[in-house]
Amino acid sequence: MTSKLTRWSAVVYAALIYSFLYIPILILIAFSFNDSKLNAVWQGFTLEWYVQLWSNTNVLEAAKVTLIVAVVSTIASTMIGTLVAVGMYKYHFRGKSVLDAGLYIPLVMSEIVMGIAFLAFFSMVDMPLGIWTLIIAHITFCIPFVVVVIRARLQGFDRSIEEAAMDLGASEWKTFLLITLPVISPAIVASALLAFTLSIDDVIISFFVAGPGSTTLPLQIFSMVRFGVTPEINALSTIMLAVTLVIVITAERLRTRG
């Protein structure tokens, strides 16, 4: 009786937590189809706000900048992060523990601190804020996440397979391409999808390093919200939610499958 009561209490508690997290999101999605400019009363179903959103040039330009930054930073951070993860796993050198600990600092550091640090750095090197500062900041921000995901995969890797390949005459580079890379490829894909999601969703760091003409989609949404939440913002948020959800689910499936 006591175990049954405990189980039902856990179910109710979990239901309350998930309701608190997801009911507001469901309401936002529902009101993106509301035939009213007021987010208080449901007046009927419409796709008008998605049509208006598609004709908004500011939003489309922000989406273009966001995709460019996300794609470039994802490719660069995945390549760099993969090399770092493999190098940190295979080789031992002086100061490795310090470098290893330093990789985890951006994961726990507040984004506003990183944003201020990036702004100070770009000001110090006299680099004008724009799309390139966004790309550099996003690459730096995403690399630790890529390294963590790939190193988790490498922890279960049997290095004797590499040693056997090299004993049979394969070079170190060929062993990496034919043995190591296929094994860690699910983690590479998952980390790339995670980096892409982080780049698309970032607001705080982008706020500090974005210049004129390089406004990202999250920053555009933030500026629109300041003038009042409209169904057009709900439609934009719904689209971003759907894209992010697909990316995260894909990354998680690849990670667990690997």
Q: Which two tokens stand for residue 48?
A: 């008008």
Q: How many CB atoms neighbour CB 26 within 10 A?
A: 10
Q: Which residues pair with 45 in a beta bridge?
A: 34
The answer to whether residue 26 sits within a structural domain is no
For the chain, 258 residues long, give each residue's pLDDT as a single digit of tens: 566 777 788 888 888 998 888 888 888 888 888 887 776 677 888 888 888 888 888 888 888 898 899 999 999 999 999 988 888 877 777 777 777 777 778 788 888 888 999 999 999 998 898 899 999 999 999 999 999 888 888 887 766 776 777 767 777 777 777 777 777 888 888 888 889 888 988 888 998 998 888 888 888 888 877 776 677 778 888 887 887 788 777 767 766 665
The answer to whether residue 16 sits within a structural domain is no
Using the 8-state DSSP alphabet, how is residue 176 labeled? I
The answer to whether residue 11 sits within a structural domain is no
What is the three-class DSSP state of 45?
strand
Q: Can you tell me the distance from the alpha carbon of 146 to that of 81, in angstroms, rounded to the nearest whole number?
A: 5
The answer to whether residue 5 sits within a structural domain is no
Query: Can you give the C-alpha Rg of the chain in angstroms?
Result: 23
Domain assignment of residue 161, given as a range:
51-257
CATH number, domain with residue 174: 1.10.3720.10
Number of domains in the chain: 1
The answer to whether residue 42 sits within a structural domain is no
pTM: 0.79
